[in-house]
Structure 1
Amino acid sequence: MRAVRTRSQERILNLLKSIKQGISAQDIYVELRNRNQSMGLATVYRSLESLKLEGLVQVRTLGNGEALYNLAQQDKHHLTCLQCGASIPINQCPVHDLEGQLQSTHKFKIFYHTLEFFGLCTQCQLAQTAD
């Protein structure tokens, strides 16, 4: 059964469909204002939380603490540099089999998963050795 969504939630979903990349709650707020679909920042956060609990939106927290939201269409995997903040998407996923096992053994409905490795990119490694 589909949950009844508020107008704010529908506006956020439509925005995320058109953006196709991670975006912060503050940027969602600004973008909606630019599209003459204003809502309060607190409403943006509440709507994102509801959509996340429904499994429609996923959140990815960067090394600097910023949260990026996007549609929960596929699993996301990244290499993230702790020095410069560069984030490199990776396509391999070693945990898909584990996900299926966990759903089965724990009777747990998994909407999506993220996998993120933190370290130093090539440029930051070179800069460290140059010092």
Structure 2
Amino acid sequence: MKRTRSQANIVHVLKSLSHPISAQDLYIEMKNRDLGLGLATVYRSLEALKLDGEVQVRQLPNGEAVYSLVHQDQHHLTCVNCGQSFPIDQCPVHDLEKKLEISHQFKVYYHTLEFFGLCHLCHGGE
């Protein structure tokens, strides 16, 4: 895929981060690095990168979308009370993903698996 300069700058910034980031925070981060892009350009570039399978998006419980590079699948336990997300390493979906690609002739870029509930602090350690 041929990237625009804006897309290349976004990929560069996302590579340097250790966590997913919202489009608004990415806009601020790029501005701080003198890679200023308009907010609309950040959104358009993220959308194009998502459609090309380079960026994945995850919805947080508060409705905010956060973006990261597609380098591995993301799995989380997310507390509906405090909003904290805890990454988990196990993935029971990989075999299903391969079967679906074959049976539906569908190229899977990534998948997410998220469980919602209460963390040990919010439910009192019961």
Q: What interval of TM-score do these two structures reach, taking the shorter chain for normalisation?
A: over 0.9
**Greater share of helix residues, 1 or 2?**
1
State how far apart, in whole Å, the 1-side matches of 2:34 and 2:83 are: 32
Normalised by the length of structure 2, the TM-score is 0.97
> How many Å separate the matches in 1 of 2:88 and 2:2?
35
Question: Gaps (5+ residues) in structure 2?
Answer: none
Partner of 2:98: 100
Q: Which runs of 4+ in 1 moved over 2 A?
A: none
Residue of 41, 47, 50 corresponding to 2:48: 50
**1:20 paired residue among 15, 18, 21:** 18
Q: Which residue of 1 aligns with 2:107?
A: 109
Deviations 1:72-113 (A, max 9, x none): 000000000000001010000011000000000000000000
SS at match of 1:74: coil
Structure with the greater alpha carbon radius of gyration: 1
Count of aligned pairs? 126
- 5+ long unaligned stretches in structure 1: none
Other-structure match for 1:30: 28
TM-score with structure 1 setting the length: 0.93
Task: Please state how far the C-alpha of 1:15 moved relative to its aligned partner.
Answer: 0.3
